[in-house]
């Protein structure tokens, strides 16, 4: 679908749902993914041209995919700690993408075959990548945390395969693979990587989308395999960076306090979750 963002007038800086402005580039439907942020991401990326985007806590990597595929940056670096997610991105951006596509094409998506596949331990990137895609499609909201069950009745009672669109997945993977040289995947703790980034001379765009602070609270169901980070330490490190930065966070007193303390601008933005629930998130930029 052609991209018509510039032609649409927006009366207020609020979330509006215009599907053609939010293209889906990813084979993952990622919990906490940032597709809804597309208009703000474009505005931020267009503000000055830098050759490289670094996306910390990359997950479904929406910002990186948009930035490269829409030509805002030449290269995107995805920093993520989860080995299964990294295996997926490494495969998508390598010659093994073809093997991944043929596994997707040949898979019969039934409750039994999904359970059998999810019980397996894979050693190769391509095996782990395939398992990650199937897990992401079989579970409610794409949750990848250990122990989350598969959605037997499917979404809208359409059965376990209600989210399995093999041809769409293959088309997205093939398209992304054409940009393989424009992506780099770093499997590392984002806080460690930030220390390295501070030393880099040439400036990058830095997009930071950490797990929500409330995922650290007792009783809150985890969304990812890695949910807990030291948010206070992260704020301290982000404060030191000289790169052009955009941070997204859940709207909480803790985040507001830390953002003010570390001299970030705070903007509250309305979004709609995958289940059409409206809620607010915070966008933080350098003051």
Ligand X SMILES: C[S@@+](CC[C@H](N)C(=O)[O-])C[C@H]1O[C@@H](n2cnc3c(N)ncnc32)[C@H](O)[C@@H]1O
Q: Contact positions toward ligand X, by CB under 6 A?
A: 30, 32-34, 57, 59-62, 79-82, 85, 189-191, 209, 211, 224, 226, 229
Q: Determine contact, residues 104/130, Cβ cutoff 8 Å.
A: yes
| Cβ at position 169, least distance to ligand X in Å | 16
Measured from the CB of residue 59, what is the shortest distance to ligand X in angstroms?
3
Minimum Å distance from CB 60 to ligand X? Answer: 3
Which CB sits closer to ligand X, 113 or 252?
252
- Please give the residue whose beta carbon sits closest to ligand X in the complex: 60
Considering beta carbons, is residue 81 or 117 the nearer one to ligand X? 81
Report the b/e string of 148-160 with b at 16+ CB within 10 A: bebbeebeeeebb
Question: What are the b/e assignments for 108-139, b being 16+ CB within 10 Å?
Answer: ebeeeebeebeeeeeeebbbbbbbbbbbbbbb
Give the shortest CB-95-to-ligand X separation in angstroms: 25
What's the min distance (Å) between Cβ of 35 and ligand X? 7
CB of 152 to ligand X, least distance (A): 25
Describe the chain by its helix, strand, coil percentages, rounded to 5.
Answer: 45, 15, 40
**Which distant-in-sequence residues (6+ apart) come within 8 Å of 240 by Cβ?**
198
| 52/281 with CB nearer ligand X | 281
Minimum Å distance from CB 116 to ligand X?
A: 25
Q: Looking at beta carbons only, is 52 or 80 nearer to ligand X?
A: 80
The dihedral built from the CA positions of residue 269, 270, 273 and 277, taken in this order, carries a sign that is positive
Residue 75 DSSP label? E
What is the C-alpha to C-alpha distance for residues 256 and 282, in angstroms, rounded to an integer? 9
- Please answer whether residues 49 and 76 qualify as being in contact, where contact means their C-beta atoms are separated by less than 8 angstroms: no
Residue 192 is given by DSSP the state H
| SS3 of residue 1 by DSSP | coil
Give the nearer residue to ligand X in terms of CB position, either 155 or 250: 250
Burial code (b: 16+ CB inside 10 Å, e: under 16) for 24-55 equals: ebbbbbbbbbbbbbbbbbbebbeeeebebbbb
Of 150 and 274, the one with the shorter C-beta distance to ligand X is 274
Q: Between residues 107 and 122, which has the closer beta carbon with respect to ligand X?
A: 122
């Amino acid at each position: 679908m052609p991209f018509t963002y510039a032609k649409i007038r927006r009366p207020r800086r609020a979330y509006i749902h215009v599907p053609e402005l939010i293209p889906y580039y990813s084979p993952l439907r990622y919990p906490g993914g940032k597709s809804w942020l597309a208009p703000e991401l474009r505005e931020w990326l267009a503000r000055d041209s830098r050759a490289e985007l670094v996306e910390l806590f990359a997950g479904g990597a929406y910002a990186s995919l948009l930035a490269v595929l829409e030509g805002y940056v030449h290269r995107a670096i995805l920093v993520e700690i989860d080995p299964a997610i990294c295996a997926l991105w490494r495969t998508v951006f390598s010659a093994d993408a073809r093997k991944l596509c043929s596994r997707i094409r040949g898979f019969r998506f039934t409750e039994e075959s999904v359970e059998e596949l999810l019980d397996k331990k894979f050693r190769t990137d391509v095996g782990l990548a395939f398992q990650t895609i199937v897990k992401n499609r079989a579970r409610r909201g794409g949750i990848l945390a250990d122990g989350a069950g598969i959605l037997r009745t499917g979404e809208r009672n359409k059965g376990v395969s209600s989210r399995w669109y093999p041809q769409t997945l293959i088309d997205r993977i093939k398209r992304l693979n054409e940009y393989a040289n424009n992506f780099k995947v770093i499997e590392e703790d984002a806080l460690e990587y930030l220390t390295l980034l501070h030393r880099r001379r040439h400036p990058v765009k830095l997009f930071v989308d950490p797990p929500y602070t409330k995922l650290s609270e007792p009783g809150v169901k985890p969304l990812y395999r890695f949910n807990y980070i030291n948010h206070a330490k992260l704020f301290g490190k982000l404060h030191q960076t000289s790169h052009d930065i955009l941070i997204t966070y859940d709207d909480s007193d803790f985040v507001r306090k830390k953002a003010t303390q570390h001299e970030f601008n705070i903007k509250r933005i309305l979004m709609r979750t995958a289940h059409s629930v409206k809620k607010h998130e915070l966008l933080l930029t350098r003051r």
